[in-house]
Chains A and B, each alone.
Chain A
Amino acid sequence: MFRKTIIGAVSAWVIGVLIVSQATEEKETSSQNVPEVCTLGTLSKIYEPVLFSHGQHTLMAEDCATCHHHSEPGVTLACKECHGAPFDPKNLNMPGLKGAYHLQCMGCHQQMSSGPVGCTDCHAKRISQQTGMEKK
C-alpha cells in the first residue's frame, strides 16, 4: 500500500512539473520544441562553432519575430531555411547564411550597446592552415 502511495505521489509530481513547464511557455510556438542552445556550426572553417544561448535570447526578446524576421506571423523558421548561398543575382539584397548571422546578431548587439561584438567573443579561433591567421 505504501509503495502504491509513493508511486502515485511521484507520478503526480512528474505530471505536475510537466504541466507547469508547458504552461509557462507564453510564446506562440509553445507547442513546438524551442531549443535552449543552438550550435551554429555549418560555416566553421576558421572558427569553432558558435554555442548560441537561444533560451537566453527568447527571454530578452518580446516576440520571436524580432529575430525570426520576414516570415508569416506565427511561423518561426531557422535562419538557414531562407538564408543560403550569398550573392544570388535574383536577390542580391538577401545575405547568405554567414552574413545573416553576423548582421542580425552583431547588428542588434551594436544597436543595444550590449552583447558580444568581437570575433572571438562568440567563437574561438581554430588553429588553421592559413598563414597569418594562426594563433601565435
Chain B
Amino acid sequence: MGISRRKFLKVIGVAGSAGLVGKANSTFGVDQFTGSPDRFGVLTDLTRCVGCRTCEAACNEVNKLPPPKVPFEDQSVFEQIRRTDVNAFTVVNRYPNPQPGGPPIYVKHQCRHCDEPACASACLVRAFTKTQEGAVTYNKGVCVGCRYCMTACPFYVPAYEYNKPFSPEVKKCTMCYDTRVSKGGIPACVEACPMETMTFGKRSDLIRLARKRIIENPDKYIDHIYGEQEVGGTSWMYISGVPFEQLGFPMDLGTKPYPELTKGFLSMVPAVLVIWPALLGGFYMFTQHREEMGVSEETIPQEKEDQL
C-alpha cells in the first residue's frame, strides 16, 4: 500500500475544496446583466440643460422635502459643486465650457440606478433592490444604518440622516418609483424639465436614441454614452458635447460591475463555514482514532518482544 489513509483523506479534502472554489467562481461570476430586458432608463442630453433647476424643484415637491435655504431660482448655488443631500436627491452643477466663449455646461447629478448596484451588493441586510422597472429602491424597514452603501457607491450618491438619531434613513433618488414609475408614470424631474433634457423610456430604446443623436450630429456630441457600460451599465445615462472628464464624471470606474469584485470569494463563505468544520473535524476524529490505535500498537510489539 503506497499511500496512508490519512494522506489519502487529506488529498481528497483539499481537492474537494479546490473544486468548490472553481464551481463558485463559474456559478456566481456574471459578466453582463441580462435581467429584466424591458427595464426603463433615463437619457440625459447635456447639450440641452440650461440650469433652470426646475428638476430640483419638482423633486423637492413630489418627495415632500423641506424648502431649500436658497430658492431654486437662485443661480448662486452654481458657484460650488454640490453633492446630493438628504434634502436634495438631485443637484445640478455648472462646469465651464472648454471652448472659449461657449455657454457653461450644466450637469444633473443623482442616483444612476445601476444595473448591478454596488450599494445593493454592499448592504448587509439587503435594503436595496433593483426593481424590474430599473429603479434601485431602498427599504428603510431593514436598514441598520451601517452606511456601507455610502462607501460602496462610486458616484457618492447616498446621503444619511445624521441629524435623526432615532430613525435615520439613507436618502437618494428613487426614480419616483413608488409614486410614479411603478404606476406607469415618469419621474417628476423628467416631466418638469422644460428643455426635455431627459428622455424616459426603455433602456434599450434610449441607447438607440443616444446613438442616433450622436450619429446624426457628430460635431455636437462626444461619441460616448456614459452609463452604457460603466460599472456594468446604469439606467441613467448621459450624452454630452464636452468630454465627460471635464464634467465631474468619474472616468476610472471600468465596465466590471462592482458586485463582481466581491461575489467570487464572498459566495464561498457559507460553503467554507459548512465544509471546513466537517472536514477538519473528520481529520481530527481520524487522528484521535489513530492515536488510540497507536497506543495499543506500541504496546503489542513490546509484548511480542517479550514473547520472543
Contact = CB atoms under 8 A, between A and B. Distances in A.
Contacts of A136: 71
Interface string A96-132: 1011011100100010000001010000000000111
A32 interface: no
Contact of B68 (A87, A93, A119, A132): A132
A82 B54 CA distance: 25
B71 A132 contact: yes
Contact of A98 (B52, B194, B201): B194
B297 interface: no
A93 B57 contact: no
Given A99-B196, A132-B71, A89 B201 contact: yes
Interface stretch (B1-9, B12-20, B205-213, B222-230): B205-213
Contacts of A96: 196
B194 A92 contact: no
B209 A117 contact: no
Contacts of A133: 57, 61, 71-73
A96 B60 CA distance: 23
Contact of A86 (B48, B54, B196, B213): B196
Contact of A103 (B48, B68, B72): B48
B57 A87 contact: no
Interface residues of A, number: 22
A130 B61 contact: yes
B148 interface: no
A136 B67 CA distance: 12
B73 to A, nearest CB: 8
Given A86-B199, A92-B205, A98-B196, 6 more contacts: A93-B209, A99-B195, A106-B50, A106-B195, A130-B60, A133-B57
26 contacts: A86-B196, A86-B199, A87-B201, A89-B201, A89-B202, A92-B199, A93-B209, A95-B196, A98-B196, A99-B194, A102-B194, A103-B196, A106-B50, A117-B50, A119-B54, A119-B73, A130-B57, A130-B60, A130-B61, A132-B57, A132-B67, A132-B68, A132-B71, A132-B72, A133-B57, A136-B71
